[in-house]
Chains A and B, each alone.
Chain A
Amino acid sequence: MHIPLSTARDFLAGDANATSEVYLSCRKLLYFVIRSIVANKDDADDIYQEVFVNVLANRAAIKSPYSLERYLARCAQNAALNFIKKREALIDYSELMDAYGQNDHKNSYLQEFMPFLSDLENAVAVYKIEYGFSYREIAMLTGFSRQTANNAYKSAIKKIKKNLGGSKNV
């Protein structure tokens, strides 16, 4: 997924076609970001809709067209974290650092990607393999350190090789 700069500029200027392109490019990523934090489908669907409404309503305030998809992903992450913060009556985000759980298998949505991976490994695998995000970006989206993201990816790749790699790798 990559939004061309010209499309990002047109999107910020309110162009309808560019809005369609940005929406089509980002919808899966944004939903993944939200659903990986908010496991409940109904809640996630509401947040997903709310994120788009807010982004479209406030796009004139977005200062830079660079890395628009990353910006939108952060919006989705913030919306999901805000939801949990309200629900759990938490004081600050640091209490959400274990949103995935390094070895947990709590999030049924994440588990449906590759059941042999932990929640964090599934999340990192999607960000890295599907979206090509750097460890720095993954760290920002998951709340873990870059090193943890790096380790989770390495571990995920090992398990993927073992489970999807055929008889040679077993």
Chain B
Amino acid sequence: MFEKRKAKKLIEEKLEKETPEVPSLVLKSLQSPKHHLKIWVIAGSAVAVAGVAIASGYGIYKALNPISSGTIDLSKTQLTKPAARVYSGAVSKTSAAIYETFAEKLVPLIYAGAGTTSKAFSVFDAFVAVSMTVYCSNDSAQKEYCDLLGAGDMGEVTTAVKELTLTLGVNSQYVDPIDHKTKTEGGASVNSFWFDDTMPLAATSSKILQGLQDDYFASIYHTKASSEKLTQWLSDNAPVGFDDLPKLQLDGEPETTSVSAYFVKDTFPNEEHQEYWSEYNSKKHYLEYVLDGVTESVDFINSREDGNLLEGTHFTGVHSSINKLGIDYFLPDVDYTPNDIMNDVIHNSYVTGKDLYDLIISAPYFLIRTENLDFKDSLEEMASFFSGTLMEKLIDPSYPLVLTQALQSSVLKYDYSGFYAVSITAVATETSTKGSIYSKYDFTLNRPYAFEVNYPLTLEGEASATNLPLFYGQVFDPGYAAA
């Protein structure tokens, strides 16, 4: 949110300018502030001198030497594997209602005031990742979540996740009749949970971790998640035939991250597939598509189905089927946009017309890449507990964690092959709120510099540590060949 950042900057500048200096009475009772890092510059020599404590050296070394994407061995930090899955096909009315309510509550907030760029939101993995986070949180958060979704208790939510995963996300495979290769049809859901294992765990942690493994089918990693690790994890867990994967950029390495990814693909029946392929291959099968008054040619699927119109205020819809999946299209009336009708679409606020038609549906191909869709504000608006502390059933409540990131990236394609989608959602909590009150300062040692290596010791009678120097040095040529 560009405007929010601008507003935040304005607020910070104003607070900085207007807040008075330390009052004199208080000043007397304050000692000199603790400095975490000494930084000073020797004027005229262009040599920066930095005191770096040994204690922080390891962290810096690790930060500067990330293992590159594709080479991270996640198995070393994987605590448990998810429970085995067997296709269920049975989803209770209660579970379906909980899931649909989640969609109805959250999705309108995400599309509220949406702009003019194509974007998609995957409800399934958002439901799983958000529910995992709530599952690890305190009783009052769980109660508010259940009340919101119309669930009797958290057990019903967990059952909904489980039943839906074993039906929509169990990953059934089939042999393609055209190329005879094994492919994935229907959906596959893979989940993971990442946490900082240096944090003290709550008394209920083992039960919670077991539940995440058994009921949320999550792989548990006892390490903090990062963008690189999630990229690797998604790649490691993508079913056969899912090569185009979205990238999710986490901000830093949160203390806990609930992650869910969803893969789904549906191909047209053989005859239709061949027909659509030859139309595409002819390079002269186009639909005139108008955007902002500009007309462009777009490949499209032309299908016929007997069906009724879906009649809403300011839009008309039709139901179209691929093979197992269906797509309902909603076309706004002239002078209206998808933003105007989205709320009605999400809430099924339309009626099925009485007349049956021979529908000739012309639907353009689409490719929607949604990157890092941020829905943290939407969650906070949906339920107030998302603004409070979370994860108390897993992490010792004396280390309060708050929601800092809720992100989703996805790829959706519709073409002669049918429909293809992969999405990944991460819901993260951290010990501190984002947004330091301090200005950023980039400190890059990109020219000769001096250094002091020191050892922090707490001396007798002193409350804070004193850095005793061990080495002094000057670096001109670093003398360390690049890897």
Contacts and interface: CB of A to CB of B under 8 A. Distances in A.
Interface stretch (B15-23, B145-153, B188-196, B299-307): B15-23
Contacts of A28: 15-16, 19, 437
A109 B20 CA distance: 13
Given A56-B29, A146-B384, A49 B23 contact: yes
B147 to A, nearest CB: 15
Interface residues of B, number: 44
A43 interface: no
A2 B432 contact: yes
Contacts of A129: 4, 7-8, 11
A19 interface: yes
A106 interface: no
Contacts, number: 123
Interface in A143-164: 146, 150, 157-158, 160-161, 164
A52 to B, nearest CB: 4
A31 B3 contact: no
Interface in B1-55: 2-4, 6-8, 10-12, 14-16, 18-20, 22-23, 25-26, 29-34
Contacts of A100: none
Contacts of A132: 387, 402, 433-435
A15 interface: yes
B115 interface: yes
Given A1-B437, A16-B463, A160-B3, A113 B11 contact: yes
Contacts of A48: 20, 23
A60 interface: no
Interface in B417-451: 431-435, 437
Contact of B388 (A15, A31, A134, A166): A134
B332 interface: no
A125 interface: yes
A56 B26 contact: yes
Given A2-B433, A49-B26, A130-B11, A17 B33 contact: yes
B350 interface: no
B437 A126 contact: no
Given A53-B26, A66-B400, A136 B18 contact: no
Nearest to A146: B384
A161 B26 contact: no
B323 to A, nearest CB: 39
A20 B32 contact: yes
A84 interface: no
Nearest to A166: B2
A157 B464 CA distance: 44
A86 B34 CA distance: 39
Interface string B60-94: 00000000000000000000000000000000000
Contacts of A161: 3, 113
Given A1-B433, A23-B26, A150-B381, A113 B31 contact: no
The interface centre, meaning the residue of B8, B19, B399, B402 with most chain A CB atoms within 10 A of its CB, is: B19
Interface in B82-134: 113, 115
A137 B433 CA distance: 15
A32 B11 CA distance: 11
A23 to B, nearest CB: 6
A166 B12 CA distance: 20
A31 B34 contact: no
A140 interface: no
Given A125-B11, A134-B387, A5 B398 contact: yes
A75 B7 CA distance: 27
Contacts of A146: 384
A114 B32 CA distance: 35
B152 to A, nearest CB: 25
Contacts of B23: 45, 48-49, 52-53
Given A28-B15, A52-B23, A125 B7 contact: yes
A32 B432 contact: no
A114 B29 contact: no
A157 B113 CA distance: 11
B11 A17 contact: no
Given A2-B431, A130-B435, A157-B4, A20 B10 contact: no
Interface in A112-145: 112-114, 125-126, 129-137
Contacts of B433: 1-2, 131-132
A66 B397 CA distance: 10
Interface string A45-75: 1001100110010000000001100000000
A24 B21 CA distance: 10
A169 interface: yes
Contacts of A125: 7, 11
A90 to B, nearest CB: 27
Interface of A: 1-2, 4-5, 15-17, 19-21, 23-25, 27-28, 31-32, 35, 45, 48-49, 52-53, 56, 66-67, 109, 112-114, 125-126, 129-137, 146, 150, 157-158, 160-161, 164-166, 168-169
Given A17-B34, A28-B16, 8 more contacts: A20-B30, A21-B34, A28-B19, A53-B23, A67-B400, A112-B18, A133-B387, A160-B6
6 contacts: A17-B33, A17-B463, A27-B19, A132-B402, A134-B384, A166-B2
Q: Which 3 A-B pairs give the minimum distances between C-beta atoms?
A: A134-B387, A16-B31, A49-B23
